Structure 1
Amino acid sequence: MEPLATAGDLADRLGRPLTAPEGARVPSLLADASALVRLFTGRDFSRTDNETVVLRAQQGEIRLPQRPVLNVTQVVAVGAGGAPDIPVVGWQWDGIDIVRTSVSGCAINLPELWADEEFEAYPGTYRVTYSHGDAQAPEAVVAVVARMALRTLTSPTMAGGVTGETIGPYSYRTDGAGVGTAVAMTDDDRKMLELAGYRRKAGMAMVRWR
């Protein structure tokens, strides 16, 4: 996936062009920071068309994991124990992130064997095809990714956990986790993402279908 911020975003915040050594490090730092943000939020923040995922319904509702949802094109009930996968009829998308369905919606024209054992054959797992994502990363996400990368990029030392150096008779040292060659997410970063509404929802299980 593409990074959620650019070298230009870093240069804008620094107020100067990146140096050649800085420019060489930026792609990896932005990739690492973007991966951490995606892991924390459970969101891609990238436009994806017609992705198919396998999700479990809760009380007839399927919560789509990626937002904003642009459209939903297909819902298929996944059969168990030899039962066939069948398209669901009558499903409804709420326009946000919920698809409402029911087992009865996929029971039409089932072979009698599976119709008689409907609940066992169709335990509530669905394959959903939908499009989602932003045309560009939200400003709050760009801000967090940029400052995560800049903390490492502008650290005066490459030693992880230490921000300090000695030049002749002058020296200083401040311990700080995450500074050095590795990008890290701070509590302030997490708080900003949470305030922006990008906290990962608990209890979501998803399998990507390629």
Structure 2
Amino acid sequence: MDPLASVTDLSDRLGRPLNTIEEARAQALLADASAKVRAYTKRTFTRTDGETVVLRAQQGEIRLPQKPVIAVAEVVAVGAGGAPDLPVAGWQWDGLDIIRTAVDTPSINMPELWYDEDVDAYPGTYRVTYSHGAAEVPADVVAVVARMALRTLTSPTVAGGVTGETIGPYSYRTDGSGVGTAVAMTDEDRRELDDAGYRPKAGMSMVRHR
């Protein structure tokens, strides 16, 4: 996936073009910061069409993990114990991030054998095909990713966890976090992402991607 911020975003925040050494590291640092934000939020933030995921319904509701949701193309009940996967009849998308299914008979054309003899044939997992994401990464996400990359990019030394500076005859070195060769996410970064509502809600269950 592409980084969630660009070299231009870094330059704009620094107020100057990146120098040669900074340019050599910038893309890798942006990729690392983007990966950490995506792992923390469980969201991609970029436009994806026709993605298929398998999700578990709770009380007849399937919560889609990626937002904003653009369209839902298909909902299929996943069969267990040899039961076939079957299209769902009458599902409804709320226009935001929830698909509602009929709890009692979620599938159309269900073979009578499975319906009558195996009530556990359809345990409540669904394969959903949908499109999501935005044309542009949200500005607050760009800001967090750029800040994470800049903390490492502009640290006085690339020795992980150590900062230092020399001014004339005076010099100092200190141990610290969030600087050096590795990009780090701070509590402030997490708080901003939490406050913006980018963390998944409790109770959502994604089984697997296909």
**Shorter-chain TM-score range:** over 0.9
1:1-210 matched pairs, under 5 angstroms = 1-117=1-117, 119-166=119-166, 169-206=169-206, 207-209=208-210
Is the CA contact (8 Å cut-off) linking 2:157 and 2:164 kept in structure 1?
A: yes
Match of 1:74, SS state, is strand
TM-score using structure 2 length: 0.95
In structure 1, give the amino acid aligned to 2:178.
G
How far 1:165 moved relative to its partner?
Answer: 3.2
Structure 1 unmatched runs, 5+ = none
SS in 2 for 1:83: coil
Shift of 1:107: 4.2
CA-CA distance at 1:131 after TM superposition:
0.1
Cα distance in 2, alignment partners of residues 200 and 106 from structure 1: 26
How far, CA to CA, are the matches of 2:112 and 2:48 in structure 1? 39
**In structure 2, C-alpha distance between the alignment counterparts of 1:103 and 1:200, rounded to whole Å:** 24
Q: CA RMSD in A?
A: 1.4
1:103 is displaced (CA, Å) by 4.3
Shift of 1:163: 1.7
Question: Given that residues 40 and 200 in structure 1 are in contact (C-alpha distance below 8 angstroms), is that contact kept between their aligned partners in structure 2?
Answer: no
How many Å separate the matches in 1 of 2:153 and 2:109? 61
Deviations 1:26-80 (A, max 9, x none): 1100000000000111110010001000000000000000000000010000000
Superposed CA offset, 1:142-175 (max 9, x none): 0000000000000001111122134662112333
Extract unaligned runs of 5+ from structure 2. none
Determine the C-alpha separation between the residues in 2 that align with 1:205 and 1:117: 28
**Aligned length in residues:** 209
Closer, same or farther: CA 104–63 of 1 in aligned 2, 3 Å: same
Kept in 2, the 8 Å contact 1:107–1:118? The answer is no
2:87–2:107: 8 Å Cα contact kept in structure 1? Answer: no
**Residue 151 of structure 1 aligns to which amino acid in structure 2?**
R
Q: Partner of 2:52: helix, strand, or coil?
A: strand
